[in-house]
Amino acid sequence: MSAAMMKRSVLASRTRVAATTRSRATVVRAEAKIKIGINGFGRIGRLVLRSTLEREDVEVVAINDPFTDSEYMAYMLKYDSTHGPYAGTIESAKDGLVVNGVHIKSFALSDPSQIPWGETGVEYVVESTGVFTDIAKASAHIKAGAKRVVISAPSNDAPMFVMGVNEDEYNPAKDFVVSNASCTTNCLAPLAKVVHAKFGIKDGLMTTVHATTATQKTVDGPSKKDWRGGRAASSNIIPSSTGAAKAVGKVLPALKGKLTGMAFRVPTTDVSVVDLTVNLEKATTYEEIMAALKSASENEMKGVLGYTDEDVVSSDFITDGRSSIVDAKAGIMLTPTFVKEAAVPA
């Protein structure tokens, strides 16, 4: 699933879209479901909808995509080459979709300020077009009647939140447009937070072995800004840039300027790997590091950070709802302060 990524296809289940609690627990309004609108029914938008269909506390009531009609929306939602066909019922209607017997209104408007979110009762908009990624542009949804906006990609000026890392800093009095960062940042930040808190990170390098994204080419094609990015995705390992490591400094200020990284795009359709190699301030053992990560996965970061010591491969994590899963068998240590950890953003 790797679009933009975030990838985080579970934005609706991960992002703190309501300010009714300050805990890391799932936000539940006993009196009513949170009403969500999706702008952009691409890879992320469709998987956001799928994830909400598994929850009782949120519901998607409207979708906007200027390039897709309701019949094609129904087809793309029903069939997914990575996650398989949807098990429920999906039908197209004249003005939207009917999913499991529930009507979801659809629009095809290019200007976010003209989408009638208010008329459909939408409170929170998941902005997943990859186009409206700053506060000024994303605020058009609020002008259209929504209360808050979650951008499914990094933003230059919107406050950025990663679940399990800094969501307690969310201020509902002023944070009306927020960014959920990228998939790689959602994987890296929880890992880095635990390691830094327990052992201290002096500096480090991150490499993400990243699944193919929607912007890549099926065959060699033009890509003026990134020549290598224009090569065929299915037959190449393609070096690429990523701002994910630097973005960690935005959600973990203590690590600002201490991490940087790069990416390799590989010919898989889902599940990537984050390889974090760091110099530690405190001498330790690999076993102690893994014990700290395992403990965090079972306690304060449960549901966000995972841990495995089994002989797994990437496809074993398809559709996993956690942001970051530490692979204990994939890391190594050279000295008591020089270690490589591996984690999977599913």
Tell me: is residue 183 an annotated ligand-binding position: yes
Tell me which of 10, 183, 263, 290 is the catalytic residue.
183
| Alpha carbons 335 and 338: distance in angstroms, whole number | 5
Tell me: is residue 15 an annotated ligand-binding position: no
Tell me: is residue 335 an annotated ligand-binding position: no
Q: Can you tell me the mean pLDDT for 295-314?
A: 98
Mean pLDDT of the chain: 91
Whether the per-residue pLDDT at 154 is higher than 80: the answer is yes
| Dihedral sign from CA coordinates of 15, 56, 323, 273 | negative
Tell me: is residue 265 an annotated ligand-binding position: yes
Q: Name the CATH superfamily for 184-344.
A: Dihydrodipicolinate Reductase; domain 2 (3.30.360.10)
Residue 238, helix vs strand vs coil:
strand
Angle, CA of 245, 261 and 44, to the nearest 5°: 60
Amino acid identity of residue 122, one-letter, is V
Tell me: is residue 242 an annotated ligand-binding position: yes
Whether the per-residue pLDDT at 205 is higher than 50: the answer is yes
Q: Can you tell me the mean pLDDT for 135-163?
A: 97
Residue 332, helix vs strand vs coil:
strand
Q: Name the CATH superfamily for 11-181.
A: NAD(P)-binding Rossmann-like Domain (3.40.50.720)
Active site residue 187: no
pLDDT value for 30 = 47
pLDDT in tens, 7-53: 333 333 334 433 333 333 344 444 589 999 999 999 999 999 999 99
| Dihedral sign from CA coordinates of 309, 315, 320, 326 | positive
In which band, very low, low, confident or very high, does the pLDDT at 88 lie, cut at 50, 70 and 90?
very high
Q: Where are the domains of the chain?
A: 11-181, 184-344
pLDDT in tens, 106-137: 999 999 999 999 999 999 999 999 999 999 99
The pTM score is 0.88
In contact, 64 and 39? CB cutoff 8 Å = yes
Q: Which two tokens stand for residue 265?
A: 């795009």
| Dihedral sign from CA coordinates of 83, 84, 87, 93 | positive
